[in-house]
Structure 1
Amino acid sequence: MTSNAAAQVAPTQSIPAIGTEYGGGTVTGIVSENGQQYLVITAGKAHELRGELGTYGQDVEGAHSYTDGRANTEALAAAGSELAQKVLALEIGGFSDWAIPARDQQELQYRHLKPTARQNYAGYRDGDNPSSVPPGYPYTEDLPAKTDVSAFQDNGAEAFAEEWYWSSTQSSADTASSLGFSDGLQLNSDKFLEARVRPVRSELIQ
């Protein structure tokens, strides 16, 4: 996660718990990349954006990471994605290193901040997250359950909409990974479709 590692560091002795307000947003979980761990922080609902992810048929080099949303977002922005450019322009809580979450960062948003008690889609390997700490296993119909973080519960001030959200992980020249917050279904969606984005930032844990 080379784009973020040098900017901010979260000391191991004081890692804030999931659901804690920290670093310009809410702590969402931890991902591991290349032997290092990164705290994932989700921006507030007021900073959600909506739009097309990119150009259908354009394979963007550098936008295939499952863990480094910042690198993906920078690559997408350089390739002309207006949505990615808007996210890179955000400054929230004094931080300017926001990104469209990579696939495994985004999965933590649903796993830990799921807005409703609705059953999860559990048809294949939705929720499988080998990058998370601890590793995340595929969803069952009942797990994850509705979040106990009150602000993110349905009708809460920070709740995710029961709609589709983009990740920044490109699956092919035509598609990128997306997640439906109504039931946790993960799909590769055409990049010209409009969906929401809830930005994240990362801090290296030392």
Structure 2
Amino acid sequence: MSAAAQAAPVETALQLQIGQPYGGGFFTGIVRDPDTGLEYRVITAGAEHELVGEWGEYGVKIDGADSFTNSRANTEAMAAAGSDPAQKVLGLTIDGYNDWAIPARDAEELQYRHFKPTADSNYCWGRDGDNPNSVPVGKLYTKEFPAQTKVPGFQAGEPNAFRPRAYWSSTQRSAYFAFYMLFEDGNQYYDAKGYELRVRPVRSELIQ
């Protein structure tokens, strides 16, 4: 495929504005599969579809739930191993779309970057914000960046706002831990799989 042909789908996708209603939810950004180079639109579900639950069984390593970009593959692996929130997300149908998932780590980072609910300073410790698989590549957070979202409906207290709480990603860290993101300040870390955290589903579309 020529360079021009490869670039064209990205230009088409960028006609969508962040937060624009699209595909059963809201356009959230683009991730690139590091293995194939294929690019995907990330679409976030509305707040009414949030769930709360344990990631999975503490001490059990789940094969196939380690991707930083493939939300659906991670979630299917989690569900097969008995994860309650993963099974519930896979059962969702929103506006006719039934391919929802728990966001992989780098898809979840886009949710905070573009839909940060508060005007509070960011944590900006360690590698918070580092996202080599987003388009454009995500840089380390500062206290001021990202700023509170300007997307209608996503600021604190509005209908689709993320709560200032920790949200699971579908990306496993080890047999004992999985990655999460704290939507109070942007802290990206990992927690014990047996804790109950929130989940905001996403779906992905291949950019063609």
After TM superposition, the score normalised by the length of structure 2 is 0.92
> Residues 138-171 of structure 1, C-alpha deviation per residue, up to 9 Å, x if partnerless?
1000000000102000111100000000000000
Runs of 4+ with >3 A deviation: none
Instruction: Output the amino acid matched with 1:185.
Output: N
Aligned mate of 1:182, from 181, 184, 187: 184
- What is the number of residues matched between the two proteins? 197
What's the counterpart of residue 16 of structure 2? Answer: 16
Structure 1 CA distance for aligned equivalents of residues 103 and 192 of structure 2: 17
* Structure-1 separation of matches of 2:134 and 2:150: 20
Corresponding residue of 1:103: 105
Distance in 2 separating the partners of 1:30 and 1:149:
17
Please tell me whether the aligned partners of residues 12 and 205 of structure 1 are also in contact (alpha carbons under 8 angstroms).
no
2:32 is paired with a residue of what secondary structure? strand
Could you tell me which amino acid in structure 2 is paired with residue 103 of structure 1? Answer: R
* CA shift for structure 1 position 83: 1.1
Aligned equivalent of 1:83:
85
Equivalent residue for 1:74, pick from 56, 64, 76: 76
> What CA distance in whole angstroms lies between the structure 1 residues aligned with 2:98 and 2:85?
16
CA distance in 2: counterparts of 1:11 and 1:185, whole angstroms:
29
Specify every segment of 5 or more residues in structure 2 that has no aligned partner in the other structure, as ranges. Answer: 1-8
Cα distance, 1:124 vs structure 2: 1.3
Structure 1 equivalent of residue 3 of structure 2:
none
Deviations 1:74-130 (A, max 9, x none): 000001111100000000011000000000000000000000110000121101000
Structure 1: gaps (5+ residues): 1-9
TM-superposed CA distance for 1:12, in Å, is 5.2
CA RMSD in angstroms comes to 1.1
Q: 1:10-49 CA distances to partner (integer Å, 9 max, x unpaired)?
A: 8853541111000000000000012111000000000000
Provide the C-alpha distance between the structure 2 equivalents of 1:13 and 1:192, rounded to a whole number of angstroms.
41
Matched, 1:31 2:31: yes
Paired with 2:17 and 2:152, the residues of 1 have a C-alpha distance of: 15
* Distance in 2 separating the partners of 1:22 and 1:199: 14
